[in-house]
Structure 1
Amino acid sequence: MINNVVLVGRMTRDAELRYTPSNQAVATFTLAVNRNFKNQNGEREADFINVVIWRQQAENLANWAKKGTLIGVTGRIQTRNYENQQGQRVYVTEVVADNFQILESRAARESHTGNYSGGFDTPSATAGYSSPSQGTPNFARDNNAPFGNSSPMDISDDDLPF
């Protein structure tokens, strides 16, 4: 069986970092991923995909990637269900990320003022972003990293599909 997911998109909000009772870090966030086609009005639509990431990767993501950051994620799709307080069965489908990679330089993130269409249309997705004092870390430490094994790619706004 194969259950692999590769996504590239922008974070719609800062990741929410929490810790389990056994002190395991877990971060949740939503990734806006543009579709490859435009709708009847000529506008590009986006899917908003819920993502969960665990342990050290969760802490790294929460520290380095903020709202509007372009990231790549690899992982798997997971479905689960639970009973809410009203006694109703709630079904959840989400991506459980194994790895992530920031796909733009810190300078590009800080200076980005583009308007994200397709539902992710805040005037500036990086508003309120405060960057860490050190340079962007290299999260892809091995040669099997799906998004490279050195520094994040420097992508101009002209290269983005949104």
Structure 2
Amino acid sequence: MLNKVILMGRLCADPDFRQTPSGVAVCRIRLAIDRRFTNKQTGEREADFINVSCWRQQAEFVSRYFHKGSMIIVEGSLRNNDYTDQNGVKHYSMEVLADNVTFGESKRSAQENGGGYQGAYQQPAYAQPAPAQSAPAYQQPAAQPAPQAPAANNAPGAMQLGDLGDFEEILSDGEVPF
């Protein structure tokens, strides 16, 4: 039985991107996740620190668009990584194996908080189909950039709003046409 989790937190450090000897991309990150309550003695919020492993396209995506301080949302499975070292001492650890990763804040908000994105806003589409998976119980919409004035950014690939006058209002009597 898999333990599905959804996490939202900030990266504690830049992603650690590597490749296996066979060339498979892997990226390890550590998230700081604020607890919902404050410490009664100090009055401050405490945080939990969670290790996350991303593989293949997710690894490339995380290493390209996230860095220390970035807010990130991770959907994945909780994995137990217990082991016994050479001295016979048992070590216990848990990590999340990421299934889906997305931005946790808008580009503008990230820049205001000192996080900022280093490039595009959305996860790149890959030509290879993803393996079949059951749909997650919770679907977080992808963060969208704030609209900009038409002349403000003429960079290639910049998102701009077009003329909405070409659309026609559809009046409905309550029935859905499909």
Q: Would the TM-score normalized by the shorter structure come out above 0.5?
A: yes
Give me the whole-angstrom Cα distance separating, in 1, the residues matched to 2:97 and 2:113. Answer: 28
Task: Give aligned pairs, total.
Answer: 136
Q: Which residue of 2 aligns with 1:146?
A: 139
| C-alpha contact (below 8 Å) 1:16/1:62 kept by paired residues | yes
Please state whether the residue corresponding to 1:137 is helix, strand or coil. coil
Give me the whole-angstrom Cα distance separating, in 2, the residues matched to 1:17 and 1:24. Answer: 11
The answer for unaligned runs of 5 or more in structure 2 is 127-134, 147-178
Name the one with the larger strand percent.
1
| C-alpha contact (below 8 Å) 2:2/2:77 kept by paired residues | no
Offset from partner CA, 1:74-113 (integer Å, 9 cap, x none):
1011012334455544332111111111021223222214
Within-5 A mapping of 1:24-35: 24-35=24-35
| C-alpha contact (below 8 Å) 2:108/2:145 kept by paired residues | no
- RCO greater where, 1 or 2, for CA within 8 Å and sep 6 or more? 1
Q: Where do 4+ consecutive residues of structure 1 move more than 4 Å?
A: none
Q: Which residue of 1 aligns with 2:73?
A: 72
Give me the whole-angstrom Cα distance separating, in 2, the residues matched to 1:50 and 1:24. Answer: 19
Give me the whole-angstrom Cα distance separating, in 1, the residues matched to 2:52 and 2:15. Answer: 9
Letter in 2 for 1:95: V
Distance 1:12 1:57, change over 3 A: same
Q: Which residue of 2 aligns with 1:56?
A: 57
What do you get for the CA RMSD once the two structures are aligned? 2.7
TM-score, normalised with respect to structure 1: 0.72
